[in-house]
Structure 1
Amino acid sequence: MADTATTHPPAPARSTARPDLRMFLTRHGAWVALALLVLFNLAVTPNFATWQTLNVNLTQVCAIVIVAVGMTLVIATGGIDLSVGSLMAIAGALAPLIFMGKLFPLPHLYVGIALAFVVPVLVAGAFGWFNGFLITRLRIQPIIATLVLFIAGRGIAQVMTNGNLQVFKVPEFQYIGLGRLFGVPFQALLMLVIVLAAAWMLRRTVFGRQILAVGGNERAARLSGIPVVSVKRRVYLISGLLSGIAGLIVIARNSAADANLVGLGMELDAIAAVAVGGTLLTGGRATIIGTLVGALIIQLVRYTLLANGVPDAAALIAKAAIIVLAVWLQRQARS
């Protein structure tokens, strides 16, 4: 006997053709903001689409990106590093003392230049490791531990130079900040290499997965056998090394090292770039490419305001507003 019960066609599935706008902005808001900034400048700002403008913005953003890459790794573990600006000052103060022969006699200028590229970066890295030691060994909160070098680090740099401005003209050393390779600023190529290497490390290596695991749930990471202490010390070491590189770029670009100004406020720019780029400030999730985009946004906002006659103080207000928006979008994503 045939079944005479009537069947009804299934209800049509709810259309997903149109993406949720809020979720889209949560996931890709940094890219959208960068695109809007570029389009606005192309339409309004004179001479924006020129190589000179691109060069200015590139040279201004490179040091921020390099420091922010290290900050991204630190924040991914649930930490923070307030000492990056002071470590830049230490590296920037030490390098001229080396290649100008003020610390010890040099057999040749090129020996001093080679040492000036290596020793200050290693010293900054050692101070970064010290931050990690305070956090893991003495169980000091990251914000307090790194505040120690935030204060004392710049004092160390000032003592090293007696508070004096170190002016120099050494083209071989200054290549890191003023040189060009195939017409592209060398510091921009160095920045790109660091960004790609860090992004690959974070996504493709065991160490990268350990960083995210520690930031996501430190207790669970420890119970699963991850060397939490070693991971934390290494990320602060990396942050210190990258801060040292950024310090060399800044003094090479300026042809002078001023312990009072090198790296001043860099910790805030780096944290802002990380937040705007989409890395969770509570740890456990990070995006290096997002940090690059965040740094570009911050630089372009400042350039846009200055190019259109807005005082530089307004850029600080705009930066604060961007950070608030970025944090709000992060909360929306987590909810």
Structure 2
Amino acid sequence: MRGSSGWQGLLADLKQVRASILILAALLIFNAFFTPYFLSVQTLNVNLTQVATIIIVAMGMTLVIATGGVDLSVGSLMAISGVLAPLIFLSPAFANLQWLGILLAFILPVLVAGAFGLLNGLFVTRLKLQPIVATLVLYIAGRGIAQVITNGQLQSFSTPAFTYIGLGRPFGIPFQVILMLIIVAVTYWVVKRTVFGRSVLAVGGNETAAGLSGIPVSKVKLWVYSISGLLSGIAGLIVIAINSSSDANQVGQNMELDAIAAVAVGGTLLSGGKAQVLGTLFGALIIQLIRFTLLAKGVPDAAALVVKAAIIVVAVALQQRRRRE
């Protein structure tokens, strides 16, 4: 019965995001007929590779927004994680213990990004800063920290054991896509099946009522910002692994816009109280396909930024209309 209930819940969630599914289907059909080689394995891998990091970051953003907050620092935290990893596994200290350097490069930068996420949470809960202001601090300072760490220099490397996270193809599937699917599944389970997930929605729905009912509001917020930081750290490692280089000026650039747009298009209320994890997944895929379609039709990539901004405006307008109804 529990398994049946789980499938029924999944189908109900898919029904709630049917508009996103229909838009995604329309984009797929359009490109299948009018974009050469769209149905090739190479094109599929390229699109999945590019969208995987957006989805990973957007999972953390979904939890943050569900509490009524927002995290503008995700791109900067990706940059910090991305510059720390090569410094670790290329360090002379691990010349004879490369496996240890690689292991630490996968762990420490992610933990550092998570610690900065926790700092965002402390700004929100202890200093009582508005989330947009609290995370704006690291949006600005975080990339500066990453640039200072490397003196603004590009770090190139060729370390197969590390680049596998971005270039590996187990069973022909990009490794980061497998990792992304695991993160989506875990996030969905957390939101739907755990006390923490219910607490996240309660805090975003009515923070005062949540506190009065015994939910540790501050602790919940600290956790969601920390999780957002951790996922940003993982995404930063994937990006530098794909490029076999780390550039503090480029890693995570505009990621906050992509993540927020994915969440908004997916149906999660930007005012909090709701978390459409599957919607965020489809929202990110829609944004990626729109960008791909524009590029395939010769539209400059810069135009995609305008489209993403327009998508957020339309999504928010539709959300407000549904709430009034």
Q: TM-score, normalised by structure 1?
A: 0.91
1:3 — aligned with what?
A: none
Gaps of 5+ in 2: 1-13
Instruction: Indicate whether 1:115 and 2:104 are aligned.
Output: yes
Note the C-alpha offset of 1:97: 0.1
Q: Measure the CA separation in 1 of the matches of 2:308 and 2:135.
A: 23
2:227 — aligned with what?
A: 238
Instruction: Indicate whether 1:69 and 2:59 are aligned.
Output: yes
Instruction: Indicate whether 1:188 and 2:193 are aligned.
Output: no
**SS of 1:182 mapped into structure 2:** helix
Q: How does 1:9-158 map to 2 (within 5 A)?
A: 27-101=17-91, 104-158=93-147
Q: Say which of 117, 141, 154 aligns to 1:165.
A: 154
Q: Per the alignment, do residues 233 and 31 of structure 1 end up closer, same or farther by CA in structure 2, a change over 3 Å counting?
A: same
Tell me the amino acid that sits aligned with residue 196 of structure 1.
A
**SS of 2:158 mapped into structure 1:** coil
Gaps of 5+ in 1: 1-23
Q: Which runs of 4+ in 1 moved over 3 A?
A: 24-27, 104-107
Q: Per the alignment, do residues 28 and 328 of structure 1 end up closer, same or farther by CA in structure 2, a change over 3 Å counting?
A: farther
1:229 — aligned with what?
A: 218
Tell me the amino acid that sits aligned with residue 330 of structure 1.
Q
Of stretches 322-331 and 32-41 in structure 1, the one that deviates more from structure 2 is 322-331
Tell me the amino acid that sits aligned with residue 96 of structure 1.
P
Contact 1:26 1:329 in 2 (8 A): no
Contact 1:26 1:330 in 2 (8 A): no
Note the C-alpha offset of 1:316: 2.0
Note the C-alpha offset of 1:323: 1.8
Q: Measure the CA separation in 2 of the matches of 1:49 and 1:167.
A: 33
**SS of 2:248 mapped into structure 1:** coil
Q: Measure the CA separation in 2 of the matches of 1:293 and 1:247.
A: 22
1:318 — aligned with what?
A: 307
Q: Per the alignment, do residues 223 and 308 of structure 1 end up closer, same or farther by CA in structure 2, a change over 3 Å counting?
A: same
Note the C-alpha offset of 1:313: 2.4
Contact 1:26 1:332 in 2 (8 A): no
**SS of 1:46 mapped into structure 2:** coil
Q: Deviations over 1:69-126 (max 9, x none)?
A: 0000000000010000000000000000000016x45541111000000000000000
Note the C-alpha offset of 1:310: 1.5
1:200 — aligned with what?
A: 189
Q: Deviations over 1:36-56 (max 9, x none)?
A: 100110111111111011001
Contact 2:17 2:266 in 1 (8 A): no
Tell me the amino acid that sits aligned with residue 53 of structure 2.
A
Larger Rg: 1
Instruction: Indicate whether 1:271 and 2:270 are aligned.
Output: no
User: Matched residues, percent identical?
Assistant: 68
Instruction: Indicate whether 1:176 and 2:165 are aligned.
Output: yes
Number of residues of Structure 1 aligned to a counterpart in Structure 2: 311
Q: Measure the CA separation in 1 of the matches of 2:40 and 2:313.
A: 32
Output the aligned Cα RMSD: 1.4
More helix by share: 2
Tell me the amino acid that sits aligned with residue 78 of structure 1.
G
Q: Deviations over 1:171-208 (max 9, x none)?
A: 00000000011110000000000001000100110000
Q: Measure the CA separation in 1 of the matches of 2:49 and 2:30.
A: 21
Q: Measure the CA separation in 2 of the matches of 1:57 and 1:248.
A: 18
Note the C-alpha offset of 1:328: 2.0
Q: Measure the CA separation in 1 of the matches of 2:308 and 2:106.
A: 32
Tell me the amino acid that sits aligned with residue 246 of structure 2.
A
**SS of 2:273 mapped into structure 1:** coil
Tell me the amino acid that sits aligned with residue 208 of structure 1.
G
2:3 — aligned with what?
A: none
Contact 1:77 1:212 in 2 (8 A): yes
Contact 1:25 1:32 in 2 (8 A): no
Q: Per the alignment, do residues 184 and 26 of structure 1 end up closer, same or farther by CA in structure 2, a change over 3 Å counting?
A: closer
Contact 1:68 1:270 in 2 (8 A): yes
**SS of 1:275 mapped into structure 2:** helix
